[in-house]
Amino acid sequence: MTKNEKLKQWVSEMKKICTPDAVHWCDGSKDEYDRMLEIMLDAGIAMKLDESKRPNSFLFRSDPSDVARVEDRTYVASRKKEDVGPTNNWVEPKELKEKMLKLYNGCMKGRTMYVIPFSMGPIGSPISKIGIEMTDSPYVVANMHIMTRVGTKVLEALGADGEFIPCMHSVGKPLAQGETDNGKWPCAPIEQKYISHFPEENLIWSYGSGYGGNALLGKKCLALRIASVMAKREGWMAEHMLILRLTNPEGRKFHIAAAFPSACGKTNLAMLQPTIKGWKCECIGDDIAWMKIAPDGSLRAINPESGFFGVAPGTSYESNPMAMESIRKNTIFTNCLLTDDNDIWWEGIGVPCKHGVDWKGKEWTPESKEKGAHPNARFTAPARQCPVICPDWENPEGVPIDIFIFGGRRTSVVPLVTESFDWDHGVYLGATAASEATAAALDVKSKLRRDPFAMLPFCAYDMGDYWQHWFDMGDRLGKKAPKIFYVNWFRKDADGKWLWPGFGDNSRVLKWMCDRIEGKAECVETPIGRLPSKTSLDLSGVKVTGKDLEELLKVDVQAWKSELPEIEEFMNQFKDRLPERMKKQFAKMKKQLGG
């Protein structure tokens, strides 16, 4: 239990509303984790995988309506609609609470309410925050054990009067007396799903979904949506970014934070295995970065999570060997195929599967019309299991960021790598980032999606104000501001062939960035930014033809010019919140392209 009266009162209030059969305060122990899995095994919701192949690992199948983020059921309830901006779903806070309280009324009948004290970031770090999630899902408890620091130590750090972020969750499936889930994933119908954020109160309410970020409220809900507002208010940054350390042969350490939309290679880059002799890469985080300006003026970052919630399909020993090693044990898999020898499989894993049971529980063979694993199937694994986890990944002071990278999945137009002219131009590059749609969101319909800073679904206030916050942070950082680059690993030629080998060879692009910081690499000035000269990229031992390299570094002025009206239209939706400095950057780009 806790000495924090505010917390005790909140738990008491929600208990009266949700009427669970019991309340359990999570202590974060291994025994507790094991007990959660036993509960789900007994309920027929979890399947234990072969102990000799994948020790202490389990497979879950969610309901087909509950497989990804549901952006059209995700709400930001600020008091003023204009504070939310045009890219969020706004509902008046009182109205939303009334709707949800009706759903919460009696929603945990027949279940246990679990109170999960969790720390985002190392406990006690000046950059960390404490959250308390209440849930009726043992699946959530088990995943939060992996993804955050859970338990008694968090309550001790909270103390009697510490601040916490309240996170309320229910799967929305109360049980009548004697009723069980009967082996079915518990959730509410899609029209009853609500993932709601109340930024002025630092409050999160989620109902109806048991899956991923809809239910693991420390993830996108707290670490990005609520944290983005807190960061602006308090003068720091909460970003959808991986963090890695790259060490050159001379021993100099560079720290890189990079933003890509989900399923566009973020985890692959976070666990990069360099193909250049003498260079070493270590993973600090694969998804989220919290950054504050340190007393010495540098921007220091922590990974607020303690686990990986990775997209499984496409992950293989070829694409990401370190991720594959990270999930060999103690891992929760969701919506993967179950093989006949009681292991998991998914499309792109790199080995064939002749027969199994698909993510919907149906018999599957390679001839089946549907995929064996859902495109957004996931693994939840402890970060400490990654063979290349950085020794400083839990350093409470964080690591100093040298480089920011933005990027996306574009098969044409965008070159392999571009360096910004300066900080403001870098903010423009991040603001105009676009990527082809991924499977991480349930309801993405357009082929090309503008996704500024990979934060479009996660910034819980007006995006124009968010861009201004980036400009302001640049002013505060001054000469210590990280350099900004934009990358695109996904260029194809006219025949649809990848022009760049990717994976470990992406280290060659990172090397160029590091060399640029040290003044050791040449660049070519173009209307869109600085690109490598043809000889400044280290291509020793890699099969990239001169023709392919020319295409990778090509700047098609007409193609860039043709996107300007759409970019202008996108920016204009932010009206009077659009920063003057962003307008200047757009005008400058237009002029440089001859517009």
Over residues 101-142, the pLDDT tens digits come to 999 999 999 999 999 999 999 999 999 999 999 999 999 999
Q: Is the pLDDT of residue 301 over 50?
A: yes
Q: Of 60, 63, 91, which is closest to residue 76 (Cα–Cα)?
A: 91
The Cα 106–Cα 173 span in angstroms is 10
Return the pLDDT at 263: 63
CATH number of 239-307+392-592: 3.90.228.20
Return the pLDDT at 435: 86
Read out DSSP for 64-111? Answer: TT-SSB-GGGEEE--SSHHHH-TTSEE--HHHHHHHHHHHHTTTTTTS
Q: Is the pLDDT of residue 594 over 50?
A: yes
Q: What average pLDDT does this structure show over 250-256?
A: 98
Pairing mode of beta strands 337-339, 58-60: unpaired
The Cα 157–Cα 135 span in angstroms is 21
Return the pLDDT at 442: 47
Q: Look at the block and give the residue holding tokens 């939840």.
A: 380
Please, what is the average pLDDT of the chain? 96
User: One-letter amino acid identity for 315?
Assistant: T
What is the length of the chain? 595
And the tokens for 91? 């509902």
Annotated domain spans of the chain: 5-47+69-234, 239-307+392-592, 308-384
Give the 3-state secondary structure of residue 510. helix
Catalytic pick among 18, 264, 283, 514: 264
The Cα 463–Cα 565 span in angstroms is 19
Over residues 279-295, the pLDDT tens digits come to 999 999 999 999 999 99
The Cα 514–Cα 253 span in angstroms is 10
Return the pLDDT at 316: 96
Q: What average pLDDT does this structure show over 26-47?
A: 98
Secondary structure in 3-state letters for 181-220: CCCCCCCCCHHHCEEEEEHHHCEEEEECCCCHHHHCCHHH
Give the predicted TM-score (pTM) of the model. 0.96
Over residues 60-89, the pLDDT tens digits come to 999 999 999 899 999 999 999 999 999 999
Over residues 487-537, the pLDDT tens digits come to 999 999 999 999 999 999 999 999 999 999 999 999 999 999 999 998 999
Q: Is the pLDDT of residue 437 over 80?
A: no
Return the pLDDT at 512: 98
| Residues whose CB falls within 8 Å of the CB of residue 78, separated by 6 or more in sequence, listed in order | 84, 90, 93, 198, 199, 200, 460, 461
Return the pLDDT at 131: 98
CB 532 within 8 A of CB 417: yes
Q: Look at the block and give the residue holding tokens 């350490």.
A: 253
Q: What average pLDDT does this structure show over 171-199?
A: 97
Return the pLDDT at 102: 98
Q: Is the pLDDT of residue 444 over 80?
A: no
Q: What average pLDDT does this structure show over 358-385?
A: 98
And the tokens for 327? 């999930």
The Cα 300–Cα 248 span in angstroms is 20
CATH number of 308-384: 2.170.8.10
Over residues 303-350, the pLDDT tens digits come to 999 999 999 999 999 999 999 999 999 999 999 999 999 999 999 999
Q: Is the pLDDT of residue 448 over 90?
A: no
Q: Is the pLDDT of residue 440 over 60?
A: no
Return the pLDDT at 86: 97
Return the pLDDT at 1: 79
Overall CATH class of domain 5-47+69-234: alpha beta
- 514 included as an active-site residue: no
Return the pLDDT at 111: 98
Q: Is the pLDDT of residue 388 over 50?
A: yes
Q: Is the pLDDT of residue 239 over 60?
A: yes
Give the 3-state secondary structure of residue 36. helix
The Cα 574–Cα 589 span in angstroms is 19
Q: Is the pLDDT of residue 265 over 90?
A: no
CA angle 42, 47, 49 (to 5 degrees): 135
pLDDT level of residue 439 (50, 70, 90 thresholds)? low
Q: What average pLDDT does this structure show over 38-63?
A: 98
Return the pLDDT at 449: 86
Q: Is the pLDDT of residue 443 over 70?
A: no
